[in-house]
Amino acid sequence: MRTICIFRDNQDYTRSVTEWLENFYRQTGKQIETMNPDENPGFCTAYDIVEYPTIIVLGNSGEVMAMWRGEDLPLINEVSYYTI
């Protein structure tokens, strides 16, 4: 599985996202891949990602397993379930 956090730098929500990612690593020992939507517009179009930040979990064949959108970030244990 692949877990990706898609967000833009220098936005109102950027600090809360980076702190969430740091806390996720501290609590689980695992890193989440990050992506800038401006550098990967095809990826965002393919998965209908239009709200940032978005955390998406993809299965081995690219199917969406879970997705969280918007500034209300999920609980760390909700996402860590998919990063086993």
Q: What is the pLDDT of residues 54-71, one digit of tens each?
A: 999 999 999 999 999 999
Note the pLDDT tens digit of each residue in 16-55.
Answer: 999 999 999 999 999 999 999 999 999 999 999 999 999 9
Predicted confidence at residue 83, as pLDDT, reads 84
Give which of 11, 20, 6, 4 is closest to 72, Cα–Cα. Answer: 20
∠ CA 19-21-22, rounded to 5°? 65
Chain mean pLDDT for the chain? 95
For residue 77, report the phi and psi dihedrals to the nearest 5 degrees.
-70, -25
Which sequence spans correspond to the domains of the chain? 2-83
Class assignment of domain 2-83? alpha beta
